Structure 1
């Protein structure tokens, strides 16, 4: 407990330095997550500028989930088939796959979504009570990274904050965890306390004396047990480029629907109407399909006119079309409009996916660093060395399987069989496919043996058939 005082000062200083920046980060994360759930700004603001117009009563607020579509499209494109890792040691590959477990594909998908909304996704790893390796995703808004000032920008500490319940008082508290390369220090304050002066040690760890106790935990990894997975090289989320366009689309679309509803309410202007009141007017109009109007005494004839709202349909349609196109261009996605696909060839399909591939490539470059670090940590946990890790990434896209299979067949003898298997459209795991091919060849060889034996028995002297051995 001798390290308590200096480290609580470190935490307080970090909170002071990072508080404003972190609040802005949380705001961006929450905004992107809100748009991902199709809770766009149009639901809060509506179509502005209509409150003082007496002829406009409709207030439709229709959001379009373009952001959710673009993020899910990228996640499915990149991680329907999650990355495979090759340490050049088949036994170690199997151990790594066992530790990653069944949750690995879902973890990849969640990392992609978290990074797309929260700028950087995070994985935290630890050992459970039985010493087994565990890992899990931490929400981006909980993490404040502390990086070195050199060009490498390596992670030297992590400050994690989240809400919890004090089971002794039943009140909500804010927990701050400071993780460095050796230990974790845990502190808290009541959530209604603004000042960090009330920060106190939080006894979150029930551990043996040799591992730590109270609010200090010696994790023993020799490194900060958090792995960052950045969305792109600029550190931005996927909403930033498309939010103004999505808001503009929502306003015009909702305004168009408002006009369609408002135009149903025709306002009638009556001149020299001879009836007693409006009820009688509506009754006569409904019953007799006609009304009676009077002369105003000066020769002016009475009559009825209607006021309606003129809707510029063509201009709105053109605007929505251009805005939709801009959303998929700025968001670097594939517009799922069936008219854009048709009966296209494999090369044309590649062109449709060019922007999505560009965005996926930027994420893959950043994610490779994160996965490489995670796999090396697992290897260290297994007391194995893995200097080079080969990562195989597979895209899930609409493609011409016939063309790919034809290319694979024509590549036999030019490139290795393993390369052909990795790129064949029917093969998901090249190593498993190699094992299956070898197994089938052995079974075929075993089936051929009885025929050879029978053939030799027919010619016991190893004689000749038609003059040949």
Structure 2
């Protein structure tokens, strides 16, 4: 089933629709910015930056505290998932050693950091995007903010993309006057078309010729235009619904911050008593406060006196509530509370049990990332052909993630050693916690074995020569 929006755009490009492409791109941007998904993404980003609904807390009473206490809970949870799955280098391997070597050369530290950022962005926004481009003949990738990409899916399951719109605001100078220009790009398999508005408060998009051309191919090599066989973008979803982690624990975060803030208000105001005065001998309240502050005493008439009203708070009950709230957040976020006092003394089996929810959640994300690598393979293979490294379009590669689970590496290495004769050396090396590049490690092992053979052979030759010389010396003596 083709997305209606994609169909309309295809008809526009073919000249079979009354609307111009820039008009429908403009409408799509307006609709996306007004959508619930866009609002959720923006709000999730604010929570990640430690700005929750507690900022709306207000107090109209003067001289009273109004604490807005934020806790970077979402940041901790999002980073924990990204670090658990992607902090350790993942292994890229192929049965074709030439292909494996080319891939490992391509997956340098820069691209690995961007893949980690991509996974993190999916948890934070629900869906994250990365786009290929050529820089001086070298293939590179750029992370696109989720709030700047409108995917136009070509199937109802939202697994294939027929085109996408990217839009962003750019500050430019018109003479001495600064203005903000909205730029938009429409990408499909035929290339890219660029639009912009006038930056004077108008919303109408027109063709953008600032870069010299309005329409061009995906990339250029030696001045020649080329297009990929697919829309030049890849994506990863945190879940099928494309909802961020924040969506599921928002209320818990708000309540945690709110209760902490209200408790802080009470504790800050505990010294601000409400005085009940009977038969005060002074003339007004200002004189009462002055006598109390300066002389620590006040004048009263007859049976007069002063009582005070003081807020009473059960701090233990509040702390117990906040502790439960915290445990609920980690529970429903499928995360691990590292402040759990029992975690440090837990056995290996108990630790695995504590990490089970996090491991399952990250395994699902890893499965989505595997699909992302399949999407990116098109771009890899084109680059390898352009760079003269070979045609690998029919080859396959595997990505093995090394989750950062607290484990005993000695046990893993022992299990790998015990698997000798059962599984191949390549598989054992791919699962070894110290190996990053399987082919490089196998080549190093081969080189060390060759050196050992040469050294052993040389030693035997030296021993034989020594023995011959000794016999000769004895014979001479005789």
TM-score, with normalisation over the residues of structure 2?
Answer: 0.83
Give the C-alpha shift of residue 389 in structure 1: 1.8
From the superposition, tell whether residues 434 and 115 of structure 1 become closer, same or farther in structure 2 (CA, over 3 Å).
same
User: Structure 2 CA distance, aligned partners of 1:95 and 1:412?
Assistant: 28
From the superposition, tell whether residues 342 and 402 of structure 1 become closer, same or farther in structure 2 (CA, over 3 Å).
same
Does the 8 Å contact 2:89/2:436 carry over to 1? no
Q: Point out the more displaced range, 427-436 or 345-354.
A: 427-436
Q: Which residue of 2 aligns with 1:351?
A: 353
Q: Which residue of 2 aligns with 1:250?
A: 257
User: Structure 1 CA distance, aligned partners of 2:155 and 2:458?
Assistant: 73
Q: Point out the more displaced range, 97-106 or 235-244.
A: 97-106
From the superposition, tell whether residues 283 and 11 of structure 1 become closer, same or farther in structure 2 (CA, over 3 Å).
closer
Pairing of 1:67-466 with structure 2 (within 5 A): 67-128=74-135, 130-149=136-155, 153-165=159-171, 171-193=179-201, 198-206=204-212, 214-219=213-218, 220-275=227-282, 293-295=300-302, 301-383=303-385, 384-385=391-392, 386-460=394-468
Deviations 1:110-143 (A, max 9, x none): 1122222222211111334x44323211111111
Q: Which residue of 2 aligns with 1:9?
A: 20
From the superposition, tell whether residues 114 and 249 of structure 1 become closer, same or farther in structure 2 (CA, over 3 Å).
same
Give the C-alpha shift of residue 256 in structure 1: 0.5
Aligned partner of residue 446 in structure 2, secondary structure? helix
Give the C-alpha shift of residue 283 in structure 1: 6.8
Aligned partner of residue 359 in structure 1, secondary structure? helix
Q: 1 or 2 for the larger relative contact order (CA 8 Å, sep ≥6)?
A: 2
From the superposition, tell whether residues 194 and 366 of structure 1 become closer, same or farther in structure 2 (CA, over 3 Å).
farther
User: Structure 2 CA distance, aligned partners of 1:146 and 1:342?
Assistant: 48
User: Structure 2 CA distance, aligned partners of 1:77 and 1:267?
Assistant: 52
Q: Point out the more displaced range, 260-269 or 277-286.
A: 277-286
Residue 38 of structure 2 corresponds to residue 26 of structure 1? yes
Give the C-alpha shift of residue 166 in structure 1: 5.5
Gaps of 5+ in 1: 207-213, 296-300, 464-469
Give the C-alpha shift of residue 286 in structure 1: 6.6
Deviations 1:293-347 (A, max 9, x none): 432xxxxx22221110011323312211111011111111111105131222222
User: Structure 2 CA distance, aligned partners of 1:382 and 1:114?
Assistant: 28
From the superposition, tell whether residues 184 and 278 of structure 1 become closer, same or farther in structure 2 (CA, over 3 Å).
closer
TM-score, with normalisation over the residues of structure 1?
Answer: 0.84
User: Structure 1 CA distance, aligned partners of 2:195 and 2:182?
Assistant: 9
Aligned partner of residue 353 in structure 2, secondary structure? helix
User: Structure 2 CA distance, aligned partners of 1:127 and 1:406?
Assistant: 44
From the superposition, tell whether residues 204 and 4 of structure 1 become closer, same or farther in structure 2 (CA, over 3 Å).
farther
Deviations 1:76-123 (A, max 9, x none): 111112433223222222223333433112101211222222222111
Give the C-alpha shift of residue 203 in structure 1: 1.0
Count of equivalent residues: 441
User: Structure 2 CA distance, aligned partners of 1:14 and 1:149?
Assistant: 20
Q: Point out the more displaced range, 286-295 or 438-447.
A: 286-295
Does the 8 Å contact 1:79/1:395 carry over to 2? yes
User: Structure 1 CA distance, aligned partners of 2:148 and 2:138?
Assistant: 25
Give the C-alpha shift of residue 152 in structure 1: 7.3
User: Structure 1 CA distance, aligned partners of 2:126 and 2:241?
Assistant: 9
Aligned partner of residue 451 in structure 1, secondary structure? helix
Deviations 1:130-167 (A, max 9, x none): 44323211111111111114667421111111113566
Gaps of 5+ in 2: 1-11, 219-226, 386-390, 472-478
Q: Point out the more displaced range, 103-112 or 65-74.
A: 103-112
User: Structure 1 CA distance, aligned partners of 2:89 and 2:295?
Assistant: 73
Does the 8 Å contact 1:229/1:367 carry over to 2? yes
User: Structure 1 CA distance, aligned partners of 2:315 and 2:355?
Assistant: 32
RMSD: 3.0
